[in-house]
Amino acid sequence: MVNDCMLEMRNISKEFTGVKALENVNFKVGRGEIHCLIGENGAGKSTLMKVLSGVYPYGTYSGDIVFEGQVQQFHKISDSVKAGIVIIYQELALFPDLTVYENIFVGNEVRRGSIIDWNRTITQAKQMLDKVGLNVNPDTLIKDLGVGKQQLVEIAKALSKNVKLLILDEPTAALNENDSENLLNLLRELKKQGITCIMISHKLKEVISIADKATVIRDGRTICTLDAAKGEISESVIIKHMVGREIDDIYPKRTNQTFGANVLELRNWSAYDAQLGRQVLKNVNLHVRKGEIVGIAGLMGSGRTELALSLFGNAKNYKVQGELIFDGQPRSFKHTSEAIRAGLAYVTEDRKGDGLFLAQDIKQNVTAANLKGVSAKGVINGNEEIKIANDYKESLYIKAPSVEQIVGNLSGGNQQKVSLGKWLFVGPKLLILDEPTRGIDVGAKFEIYTIMNKLIASGMSIIMISSELGEVLGMSDRVYVMAEGEIKGELPISEASQEKIMELATQ
Amino acid sequence: MNFVTEVKTLVKENIRDYGMYIALFVIMLTFTILTDGLFMSSRNISNLLDATGYIAVLAVGMTLVIVIRHIDLSVGFAAGFLGAIAAILLTQFGVPVYFTIPIILALGVVIGLFNGALVASIGIPSFVASLAGMLIFRGALLQVTEKTGTIIIKDKYFNAIGNGYIPSIMEVNGLHLLSLIIGLLCIVLYMYSEISARRNKIKYNFEVVSKGVFALKLVFISAIIAYITWILAGYNGFSWTVIIMLAVVAGYHFLTTKTVLGRHIYAVGSNPDAAHLSGINVKKITYIVFCSMGFLSALSGILFTSRLQSATTTAGTLFELDAIAAAYVGGVSSAGGVGKVTGAIIGAIVMASLSSGMNLLGVGISYQYMIRGGVLALAVIFDVMTRKKRK
């Protein structure tokens, strides 16, 4: 293949309010290759791609981007698109209520003067769809297509912009095996047509099958670039570089390993989402004992968050079936408040979206789920509230000048700790953590793990939903693996390994 | 930290909260100078506050509606309609005033319940739901006043709500004694609550402002209360409208800052999804806020009808927009979760001061609208700018 360098990113560093997301990253992509970017969640892959595509404009990072032999200064996304770089995000950026052809040319309309030429739009859309091998009527609305086909529409959209370098952020995360295989074939096809491709992926099998080169990123640094032609790309090598450290280093040890009676038991637990019109959970059986951390692993969309929501007062109004036994009693919670009163707490995956009150301060967030704890007859004792918030600020290592700091201004790690504080203040028996360390730096991660250990030592139980296999293996006492809304397997920690979990999760 | 720098940092940190007060002060000072002191005369201030009453109570309710990310356009004609019902009950059915008022207030809550059902249970956008309500109440108002036209009310107790003053007991040097006593009580109460709050904070080992700054604040606020009392005592004393307005603000201020319910309202406004997952019943809160709005619409209707001593076919026209403007001038944010009840009152007074001052100066009505519009835009611009700066 070709050896000339299409893209070089030199010494890229990027900081978010005190947290180093990228530190002197060097990254080279040759023309016409498929280059995979690998690393754990939060390693800095997406940030690097956002720097490249101008989401973080020139000047907000340090270092140089050299594209096609020239140092580039992308001030906005359209600058990078003009240069021929198109990024497709994990969460697709399509308009569900518009047609396929409108979506392909949105922001890039085919026009005569300032009037859109719809006929030419449709003809050109058809050509693009042919190129990606998608056989649908361009009139179809996006919401009527499956995720796999939507992904192809995104690629067609990229092609319509004369893309030279296509970046895909976990393109197969939400796809089934068949759709994934189609997509990979398409990428191979595009490569023949001279399109260079960077793909972020967590699925190592995919990487091995498709990558010409693979770069591993860890903790905001480039670790190495592996070359398929030299036979360097293999699962064990990649995992070694991804993890790079003994698991013991970052996961604090626990000493007591005795478990009590079951706190939670689910029997044949199923849930149907009427809004989406599909079954989200199928015959789930699981149990959690007192003092235990149960890890729930699985890929995105495998039903982990839905499981948490269905337990936690059925927050999304699923039609649920089956038995839920909590603290020795069969329960059916009708509202989140009932679940909280019974002793459940749920730290959500998306702390900004549905976890925190960003416009309010730390103390108001900490007490939000248990205002009874700081009030008498409906009147809040403001001083008591400050005192309690201060206690949590200290015990959870929240770094902020005072508890009157607005939560929206805190870093991700500190926000996560506030979210944790809110749920600890309700005094739960079972704490559900959904991606507890997503998007936070290593130091804060360690602190959160330490807190988790303290909590189970005090007799609490924890369900930890996580996409980070290292975290699942490092923190759990037992692991359930989910896929397609079902529990595919249960592994005692002594038998669990990344490979086993992955095997079950991709069944 | 020395005294001056402490005051400076305090003002800097709280510029958003103090901004409106400064604006109000500047507006009042400007008009006082331009009118040779006529603006701050007892008579004018008394009239100004009375004319603010029926908008101010609406603005308080509207602030909470906007805080939970909704809007209620029906309040103006709901107030007009309920005022007309009050007039009909009093004149045509001879219902005594002490029954009429609770009935009207209860009807207001029912209207709020209806709006709440449309928004919270059925899920219609509040803009559309309340727009429908606005048209319906406008029609209803015309319907009930169709045969009679303007209904004149002769009940002197009812009319006293919008026109009467609290009894004076006796006059001292031409000043209204009971009003002076109330003003004094307010100051004592204010000082007591501030001092005990400070003492409590010290007990908890929290940071407090230095003694000098604290004393300055006490003296400053007390002086303002004393000044307003003195001005009003020089005319007829506190009117019932002002007393009602103060009671509504005090009640709602307590509700929003000190109670669990208040906190839940702000939580729902700040992030409804997070509120739901925190065990807060979002639907219930939405109902409560719309019911409170209905209740205050009824109160506004009573105040306005009583002030005019009659129910007219156009009562309530544009009240909703005045109330929304007052709420925004008072610092509420349409993004939800931000806004103060005290701000709404100040906002209402700012808007009323503009009208009153410009009337005194003989500014044409066309310019008045434009200037008030400009002030509204400026207030929101200021709000957006100061918020950006914080980040």
Per-residue pLDDT tens digits for B242-271:
999 999 999 999 999 999 999 999 999 999
Neighbours of A143 (CB within 10 A): 11
Instruction: Look up residue A127 and give its DSSP letter.
Output: H
Checking if the pLDDT of A204 tops 80, the result is no
Q: Can you give the pLDDT at residue A236?
A: 75
Q: Which residue of B has its CA nearest to A425?
A: B278
* Chain A residues with beta carbon closer than 8 angstroms to that of B209: none
Do the beta carbons of residue B71 and residue B126 sit within 8 Å?
yes
Whether A480 contacts A297, CB under 8 Å: yes
Partner-chain residue, chosen from B204, B270, B277, that has the shortest CB–CB distance to A383? B204
Q: Which amino acid is at B216?
A: L
Residue B220 pLDDT more than 70?
Answer: yes
Range in A239-253, A468-482, B303-317, B331-345 with the lowest mean pLDDT: A239-253
| A214: β partners | A36, A226
Q: What is the predicted ipTM?
A: 0.84
Mean pLDDT of B19-48: 90
CB-based contact A313 B279, cutoff 8 Å: yes
Name every chain A residue with its beta carbon within 8 A of the beta carbon of B390.
406, 409
Within B234-340, residue ranges assigned H as helices are 240-258, 260-270, 272-277, 282-308, 319-329
Q: Using an 8 Å Cβ cutoff, are B322 and B355 in contact?
A: no
B206·A382 Cβ contact <8 A: no
A223 in contact with B at a CB cutoff of 8 Å? Answer: no
Instruction: Return the SS3 of A297.
Output: strand
Contacts of B258 in chain A (CB under 8 A): 379-380, 382
Residue A1 pLDDT exceeds 50: no
CA–CA dist A62, A64 (Å, integer): 7
pLDDT at A441: 67
Predicted local distance difference test score (pLDDT) of residue B210: 84
Q: Report how far residue A195's alpha carbon sits from residue A188's, in angstroms, rounded to the nearest whole number.
A: 9
Residue B46 is encoded by which pair of tokens?
């008394």
* pLDDT (mean) for B291-320: 95
CA dist B262 and B285 (Å) reads: 9
Picking from A11, A18, A90, the residue whose alpha carbon sits closest to that of residue A51 is A11
| pTM recorded for the entire structure | 0.81
Q: In angstroms, rounded to a whole number, what is the distance separating the alpha carbons of residues B196 and A383?
A: 12
CA A240 to chain B, closest CA, distance in angstroms equals 39
**Minimal Cα–Cα distance from A433 to chain B, Å?**
13
Q: How many whole angstroms separate alpha carbon B275 and alpha carbon A401? A: 25
Residue A303: is its pLDDT beyond 80? yes
Length of chain B: 391
The letter for the amino acid at A251 is Y
Which residues, 6+ apart, have CB-to-CB distance to A395 below 8 Å? A451
Write the pLDDT tens digit of every residue in B360-371. 999 999 999 999
pLDDT of residue A2: 45
- Which residues of B lie closer than 8 Å to A, measured between beta carbons? 200-201, 203-204, 206, 258-261, 263-264, 266-267, 270-271, 273-281, 333, 335-338, 390-391
B317-355, pLDDT tens digit by residue? Answer: 999 999 999 999 998 988 888 899 999 999 999 999 999
Among A160-174, A435-449, B287-301, name the most confident range. B287-301
Q: Beta-carbon neighbour count of residue B203 at 10 Å?
A: 9
pLDDT on residue A442 = 67
Higher pLDDT pick, A306 / B209: A306
Higher pLDDT, B351 or B382: B351
Mutation target for B interface from A333, A354, A365: give the one with most B CBs within 10 A.
A354
| Shortest CA gap B201–chain A (Å) | 7
B338–A359 C-beta distance less than 8 A: yes
A35 by DSSP, 3-state: which? Answer: strand
Q: What is the pLDDT of residue A409?
A: 81
Contact A346 B266 (CB under 8 A): no
Give the burial class of B14: count Cβ atoms within 10 A of its Cβ; 0-12 exposed, 13-18 middle, 19 or more buried: exposed
Chain A residues with CB under 8 Å of B260 CB are: 371-372, 375, 378-380
Label residue A18 by pLDDT band (50, 70, 90).
Answer: low
**What are the b/e assignments for B66-94, b being 16+ CB within 10 Å?**
bbbbbbbbbbbbbbbbbbbbbbbbbbeee
pLDDT (0 to 100) of residue B391: 43
Which pLDDT score is estimated for A92? 73
Q: How far is it, in rounded angstroms, from Cα A421 to Cα B266?
A: 19
State yes or no: pLDDT of B200 exceeds 50.
Answer: yes
- pLDDT tens across B32-41, in order? 999 998 999 9
Range with the poorest average pLDDT among A264-268, A362-366, A382-386, A409-413:
A409-413
Burial-class residue A57 by CB neighbours within 10 Å (0-12, 13-18, 19+): middle
Mean pLDDT calculated for residue range B183-199: 90
Residues above pLDDT 70, as percent of chain A:
95
CB contact under 8 A, A378 and B260: yes
CB contact under 8 A, A380 and B258: yes
pLDDT at position B72 over 80:
yes
Give the CATH architecture of domain B30-164+240-386: Orthogonal Bundle (1.10)
Record: contact B270-A358, CB cut-off 8 A: yes
- Residue A41: predicted pLDDT: 61
Helix, strand, coil share (%) of chain B residues, nearest 5: 75, 5, 20
Q: What average pLDDT is seen over chain A?
A: 87
The amino acid at residue A311 is: L
Q: What is the pLDDT of residue B266?
A: 95
Query: What is the mean pLDDT of the segment spanning A74-90?
Result: 88
CB A290 within 8 A of CB A259: yes
Contacts of B199 in chain A (CB under 8 A): none
The tens digit of pLDDT for each residue in B106-135 reads: 999 999 999 999 999 999 999 999 999 999
Tell me which H or E stretch contains A272.
strand A262-273
| Domain extent listing, chain B | 30-164+240-386, 166-238
Burial of B156 (0-12, 13-18, 19+ CB in 10 A): exposed
Candidate from A69-78, A197-206, B5-14, B152-161 with smallest mean pLDDT? B5-14
Q: Inform me whether the C-beta atom of residue A368 falls under 8 Å from chain B C-beta atoms.
A: yes
Nearest CA-CA distance, residue B241 and chain A, Å: 28
- In order of their start, the domains of chain A are 5-243 (3.40.50.300), 262-343+428-505 (3.40.50.300), 360-427 (no CATH)
Crossing angle, helix B3-13 and helix B15-34, to 10 degrees? 100
Q: How many Cβ pairs within 8 Å bridge chains A and B?
A: 91
Cβ of A378 within 8 Å of Cβ of B266? The answer is: no
Q: Does A315 touch chain B (CB under 8 A)?
A: yes
Contact A404, A362 (CB under 8 A): yes
Residues of A in contact with B337 (CB under 8 A): 357, 359-360
Q: Which of A332, A347, A507 is nearest to A426 (CA)?
A: A347
State the pLDDT at residue B385. Answer: 82
Average pLDDT over residues A67-77: 89
Contact A311/B at CB under 8 A: no
pLDDT at residue A461, rounded to an integer: 95
Q: How far is B219 from chain A (nearest CA, A)?
A: 24
CA distance A197 to A166: 5
Q: Could B204 and A387 be called an inter-chain contact, meaning their C-beta atoms sit closer than 8 Å?
A: yes
- What percent of chain B is modeled with pLDDT above 90? 69
Q: Are A222 and A27 in contact (CB under 8 A)?
A: yes
Tens of pLDDT, residue by residue over A213-249, are 999 888 788 888 988 888 888 877 877 787 665 545 5
